[in-house]
């Protein structure tokens, strides 16, 4: 059976009615199709009606699927926000359990737990003055560290930290930064903005071999540990630190010491064992505050004569020195070792201050003998030449 009503151009307009109506009222779909046929005046056979019906069913199904997918995405986002909020609350509650107060200082203390990253929720505890996070597997110092403006001590020793963020420079109240036994290979120049920093420990960080020049701005830094790294010389910024009193650069690859090492006039303790030092600059004798000097296991061949306290007022405060395990030119044995002290004390004295004194004297004596022998040989040669003439 055929129907003829209106031109085809109106059919497309009729079929463009909102698909959602059909989703909401699927029972009137057939009526809708019939009305479309009557209103548009299109000649349609029964097969065409079935085709149109199939087309609309496909559109309806696709629209339903899209709406379903959209609802599921909204639900997942809502659940995700809810879950994230609850996780933050749980994490924050867990962190609060780690906060203690000792001697009026608020401390976050975590040890031997798994915290590879620190959650943003930690910012809500920005009143913390000290972080003590040891052996927790921490890999990164968060950038939100700058929110902890009251931080005085940042102790992240024995973790897996690879980078110090530049935001560290905003911690102007920080006094101690302890990052020994990590994997730091670069120190940002922003650290030089921590104007109140007094103690910096970067021991055992594998590939660390340099420091930024701006670290010389740390006018209050008195304690610096750079041991067990890859330094080949003492950085200029270290020599320029005006308040430095204690320096450890043992177990590096130091080949020489700066000629102006005496500029560290407040340094009283200098640890340089296990390096590649072959000689000492004469100006080391001008380090007037030096009390302890450890030079064991280097490649030293001699001890500068100027280091003898009796002849160098600059070394008058030197109380302990260690030259053990160096290929020194002369073998020197100390006379009259003490009998009433333990073996360790005697062992220390064997290459200590007294040893240094006797070695310098022995070097002078043998040097003088060598000079006399050479002079005699020279004079004998001159005499023989004169006789032959």
Contact indicator for 5, 42 with CB cutoff of 8 Å: yes
pTM of the model: 0.73
pLDDT tens per residue, range 26-55:
555 555 555 555 555 555 455 666 776 677
Asked whether residue 17 carries a pLDDT value surpassing 50, the answer given is no
CA distances to 24, 76, 186, 319 from 288, rounded to whole Å, are: 94, 70, 33, 12
Residue 213 near residue 240, CB atoms below 8 Å: no
Handedness of CA 362, 367, 370, 372 (dihedral sign): negative
pLDDT for position 35: 55
**In the structure encoding, which two tokens stand for residue 191, read together?**
């650290």
User: What is the tens place of the pLDDT at every residue in 347-363?
Assistant: 556 778 888 888 988 88
Burial of residue 119, with CB atoms counted within 10 A of its CB: 0-12 exposed, 13-18 middle, 19 or more buried? middle
């Amino acid at each position: 059976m055929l129907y003829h009503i209106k031109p085809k151009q109106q059919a497309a307009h009729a079929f463009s009615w909102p698909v959602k109506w059909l989703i909401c009222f699927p029972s009137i779909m057939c009526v809708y199709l019939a009305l479309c046929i009557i209103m548009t005046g299109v000649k349609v056979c029964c097969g065409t009606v079935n085709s149109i019906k199939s087309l609309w069913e496909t559109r309806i199904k696709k629209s339903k699927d899209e709406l379903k997918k959209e609802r599921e995405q909204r639900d997942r986002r809502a659940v995700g926000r809810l879950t994230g909020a609850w996780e933050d609350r749980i994490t924050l509650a867990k962190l609060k359990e780690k906060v203690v107060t000792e001697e009026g200082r608020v401390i976050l203390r975590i040890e031997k737990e798994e915290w590879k990253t620190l959650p943003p929720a930690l910012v809500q505890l920005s009143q913390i003055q000290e972080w003590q996070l040891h052996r927790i597997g921490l890999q990164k110092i968060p950038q939100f560290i700058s929110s902890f403006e009251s931080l005085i001590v940042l102790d992240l020793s024995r973790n897996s930290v690879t980078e110090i963020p530049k935001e560290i420079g905003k911690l102007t109240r920080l006094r101690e930064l302890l990052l020994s036994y990590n994997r730091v290979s670069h120190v940002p120049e922003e650290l030089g903005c921590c104007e109140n920093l007094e103690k910096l420990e970067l021991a055992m960080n594998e590939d660390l071999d340099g420091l930024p020049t701006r670290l010389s701005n740390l006018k209050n830094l008195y304690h610096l540990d750079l041991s067990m790294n890859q330094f080949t010389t003492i950085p200029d910024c270290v020599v320029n630190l005006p308040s430095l009193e204690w320096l450890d650069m043992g177990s590096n690859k130091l080949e020489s010491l700066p000629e102006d090492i005496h500029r560290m006039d407040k340094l009283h303790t200098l640890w340089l064992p296990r390096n590649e030092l072959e000689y000492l600059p004469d100006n080391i004798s001008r380090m007037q505050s030096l009390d302890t000097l450890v030079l064991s296991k280097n490649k030293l061949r001699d001890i500068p004569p100027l280091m003898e306290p009796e002849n160098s007022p600059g070394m008058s405060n030197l109380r302990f020195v260690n030259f053990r395990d160096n290929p020194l030119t002369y073998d020197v044995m100390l006379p009259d070792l003490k009998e009433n002290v333990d073996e360790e004390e005697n062992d220390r004295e064997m290459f200590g201050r007294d040893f240094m004194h006797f070695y310098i004297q022995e070097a002078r004596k043998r040097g003088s003998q060598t000079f006399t022998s050479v002079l005699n040989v020279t004079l004998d040669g001159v005499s023989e030449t004169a006789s032959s003439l």
